[in-house]
Structure 1
Amino acid sequence: MGNLTLKSVSKSFGQVNVLKGIDLEVKDGEFVIFVGPSGCGKSTLLRSIAGLEDITSGQIVIDGKEVSAVPPAKRGIAMVFQSYALYPHLTVRDNMGLGLKQAGTPKAEIESRVQEASALLSLDPYLERRPAELSGGQRQRVAIGRAIVREPQLFLFDEPLSNLDAALRVQTRLEIARLHRRLKATMIYVTHDQVEAMTLADKIVVLNAGRVEQVGSPMELYNRPDNLFVAGFIGSPQMNFIDVDRLGESGYKTLGVRPEHMSLSRDSGQWSGKVIHVEHLGADTIVYMESEKAGLLTVRLFGEHAYAPDDVVYASANNGTTHRFDANGKAMR
């Protein structure tokens, strides 16, 4: 239950090709996250899986059944949107059970499923309230509960946390992670937030301009990016990229080193330069420096450090942490 296979899935809007031959395997029980910049096709791909968009070509297979021409209601999926899409005049209980009621599910079964989902999401105290009486996080939990009661083969999440403030995002992220472990359900989740992707996913799919750049676990993408795009997209602050021509080296085009894999000294190091800005974050200190040889570099230091603009400093890459890319942007192993 919950296996998904995409075979050469393409989607065009007129002359614009939004999805360009997507191939993907999602195993039963996996938590898979689509990430990528705005316009990369991640939401269109999710909506295509849901049946809310008709694909131009290719196949969508759920549990061995080709569903490309099957209407959304019969695909065995449930979707949680960025907007909560709750009916304001209905109670939490009725919002959660409405889809089952419309499907003709017996009243006793609706009540049982709603009660079970409510307990799972800690919504029992709010069942008789209406959406206007709930916080944003509570409304999102109701939307998730509405999906749970349908007992779908696939849960699809389209940027479900983007309307929440920072504290609620963290809290709801933990709730979704806990929910996945308890339900052992297959979940596909779209986000532009790489922190969500790195902390929630079993597998991340990095999309760019309608194509899959790389698929792997969070740490596989972090430690072994296939190309410059993935290397720059995964990780915050972004990986430093140094044009090798500036360093006088050869055999590759670009040297990559993550800010957290660099050290800083006032005495000596690989690249000298001048500090142009410092971010004191308490747990970390982010130092931006301009180096004549390496260009603009970002260094992330653990803890508090007393660097200031105009300080002369030396940055060095830690041994064994650099990445090399050829002239086409491909990683050189």
Structure 2
Amino acid sequence: MTALKLTNVCKSFGQVEVLKNIDLTVEESEFVVFVGPSGCGKSTLLRVIAGLEDASSGTVEIDGETVNETPPAKRGIAMVFQSYALYPHLTVKGNMALGLKQAGHPKDEIERRIAEAGRMLSLDPYLERRPAELSGGQRQRVAIGRAIVRNPKLFLFDEPLSNLDAALRMNTRVEIANLHRQLSASMIYVTHDQTEAMTLADKIVVLRDGRVEQVGSPMELYNNPANRFVAEFIGSPSMNLVPAELIGRSAGEFVGIRPEYARLGEAGDLKGTVVHVEKLGGDTNVLIDIGADKPFTARAFGQYEIEPGAQIGIDYDPAKCFSFGSDGARL
């Protein structure tokens, strides 16, 4: 069954068109991530789905029903925001129970749902604490628990990990992935972090300037990007783009080489000067000035000993390269 269907959805604020003809389908139990740079429209699109913003045109269907005129509370969705939005005077249990009480659910059902969510999120020891007594990661789990107890048709996450430090982000990311497997729920997750997108998503939607650039699984986007924008955005470190003139075509094309596919040594088709070295332990990123607009990044696995100022050659396998026209389209 289709959990969400967007057909030709547009959104304008005055004369500014923020979303442009968005068509998208989210299947039941699918984890879909909206990713793109700041200002691309991903959070606005999530708010249109939630009903917090009205679509200027097009249709929004949730669970087979058109909901354009349906208020947020009646759409069968639950939303987790970047800010935890917890009531400071209520306990963890009180925060999770509030929406259910307002909806008129019986007390025993509320208790059962909270107990179940508490077990899933390891919140049992904290149910009687208030938000001020919790860590940032625990508060975010409470916000997620408040969404779980509603048994929604669709979970919406708006950059929920942005306020957490790196270690907590990774731990909470794992918790969200495990939660999706346990609930088999349909989830839409907004982030600007392509690592979150790659590690969480069944399907990634890449947005730019209010348009969908490409939709596909993480590996489909990584291995077969539709254009230069997707190729550069998906992957860390970012794909290198080397100006080139392809045989039989006009000048202005680019060859894309992923950092992990570059081989360093004395010889190579490209040569340059090492300008910076990032020693990460498990691997080493070597940034090389080859005379392009920005340094070429090569990823050497393991601990690679080289210093800035060294002259080095770069070789690569042409079969693993991508080519793009001057307009950014994949050739």
Which interval holds the TM-score relative to the shorter structure? over 0.9
Match of 2:51 in 1: 51
Structure 1, residues 140-177: CA drift from partner, whole Å, max 9, x if none? 00000000000000000000000001111010000000
Structure 1, residues 63-118: CA drift from partner, whole Å, max 9, x if none? 11000110000100000000000000101111001000001111111111111111
1:251 and 2:259 equivalent? Answer: no
Query: What is the letter of the counterpart of residue 251 of structure 1?
Result: R
Query: What is the letter of the counterpart of residue 217 of structure 1?
Result: S
Q: Which moved more, 1:173-182 or 1:103-112?
A: 103-112
Match of 1:202 in 2: 202
1:65 and 2:65 equivalent? Answer: yes
1:118 and 2:115 equivalent? Answer: no
1:225 and 2:237 equivalent? Answer: no
1:4 and 2:33 equivalent? Answer: no
Question: Equivalent pairs: percent with the same residue?
Answer: 64
Match of 1:278 in 2: 277
Match of 1:86 in 2: 86
Question: Which runs of at least 4 in structure 1 moved beyond 2 Å after TM superposition?
Answer: 248-252, 292-296
SS state at 2:268 partner: coil
Match of 1:307 in 2: 306
Equivalents in 2 of 1:311, 1:97: separation in Å?
A: 62
Equivalents in 2 of 1:98, 1:294: separation in Å?
A: 55
TM-score under structure 1 length normalisation: 0.96
Structure 1, residues 37-84: CA drift from partner, whole Å, max 9, x if none? 000000000010000001100000011100011000010000000000
On the 8 A contact 1:29/1:186 being kept in 2, the answer is yes
Match of 1:323 in 2: 322
* Residue 273 of structure 1, CA deviation: 1.2
SS state at 2:221 partner: helix
* Residue 184 of structure 1, CA deviation: 0.2
* Residue 20 of structure 1, CA deviation: 0.5
Equivalents in 2 of 1:168, 1:200: separation in Å?
A: 15
1:175 and 2:175 equivalent? Answer: yes
* Residue 316 of structure 1, CA deviation: 1.1
Query: What is the letter of the counterpart of residue 61 of structure 2?
Result: V
Match of 1:190 in 2: 190
Equivalents in 1 of 2:64, 2:292: separation in Å?
A: 55
Match of 1:146 in 2: 146
Equivalents in 1 of 2:131, 2:294: separation in Å?
A: 52
Task: Call closer, same or farther: CA 1:269–1:294 in 2, change over 3 Å.
Answer: farther
* Residue 125 of structure 1, CA deviation: 0.4
Match of 2:39 in 1: 39
Query: What is the letter of the counterpart of residue 231 of structure 2?
Result: A
SS state at 1:69 partner: coil
Match of 2:137 in 1: 137
- Structure 1: any 5+ residue segments left out of the alignment? none
SS state at 2:303 partner: coil
Equivalents in 2 of 1:24, 1:185: separation in Å?
A: 18
Equivalents in 2 of 1:149, 1:200: separation in Å?
A: 22
On the 8 A contact 2:274/2:289 being kept in 1, the answer is yes
On the 8 A contact 1:242/1:294 being kept in 2, the answer is no
On the 8 A contact 2:2/2:25 being kept in 1, the answer is no
1:25 and 2:25 equivalent? Answer: yes
SS state at 1:46 partner: helix
Equivalent pairs, count: 329
Query: What is the letter of the counterpart of residue 108 of structure 2?
Result: A
- Structure 2: any 5+ residue segments left out of the alignment? none
SS state at 1:320 partner: helix
Equivalents in 2 of 1:232, 1:132: separation in Å?
A: 41
Query: What is the letter of the counterpart of residue 249 of structure 2?
Result: G
